[in-house]
Amino acid sequence: MNLAGERIGFGITGSHTTYHKVYPQIERLQAAKAEVIPIVSYTVQQTDTRIGKAKDHLATIEKLTNKQVIRTIPEAERLGPTEPLDCMVIAPLTGNSLSKLANAFSDSPVLFAAKSTLRNQKPIILGISTNDALGLNGVNLMKLLATKNIYFIPFGQDDPYNKPNSLIANMDYLLETVKFALKGKQIQPIIIPYHDKNVVK
């Protein structure tokens, strides 16, 4: 499927250790001639970590997309009826944002853009990165897996022995998941070994 001309919102939430896996996927979407519109959560905008300063992450995202980052709910609101997206990616999607999305909260630019996109009956593609997907957040994960127009980048346990409740999407499948989602299909399989070396044989 050709992505040329497709308007793809790209939401980023506060899983800072996953950013380096997401940036190359933005480049792949750009190389496929998609128009990538970046949207970030308040955590991305405000939080400095050992991974880097917030201002530097924002600068990287804007350089990759050649667009100003959408940082506020009023800015995200125009992605509804005024400037609709063809689909929206949220990657990485933290457990906090996952739980809010599953329960219809829209208190950040990323979640508001997702709400607007779902209202337009366009696909949302989720790349989860959360330590509690197989814990208390499991009910929210299952709710989203069963929700119309929501699709998942294949995910697996990144550290099953030390963090048995943790799930992370394999971002290398992002582009292919987007292509399937635009056809109304979920790429399969959804659940994959994150690292083969972690599998007991």
Omega of the bond prior to 189 within 30 degrees of 0, cis?
yes
Helix axes 95-102, 138-145, angle to 10 degrees: 60
Q: Give the model's pLDDT for residue 200.
A: 55
pLDDT at 2: 84
pLDDT for the residue 198: 57
Percentages helix, strand, coil for the chain (3-state, rounded to 5) are 40, 20, 40
Q: Is 182 helix (H, G, I), strand (E, B) or coil?
A: helix
Write out the chain's pLDDT in tens, 201 residues. Answer: 789 999 999 999 999 899 999 999 999 999 999 999 999 999 999 998 898 999 999 999 999 999 999 999 999 999 988 999 999 999 999 999 999 999 999 999 999 999 999 999 999 999 999 999 999 999 999 999 999 999 999 999 999 999 999 999 999 999 999 999 999 999 999 999 876 665 554
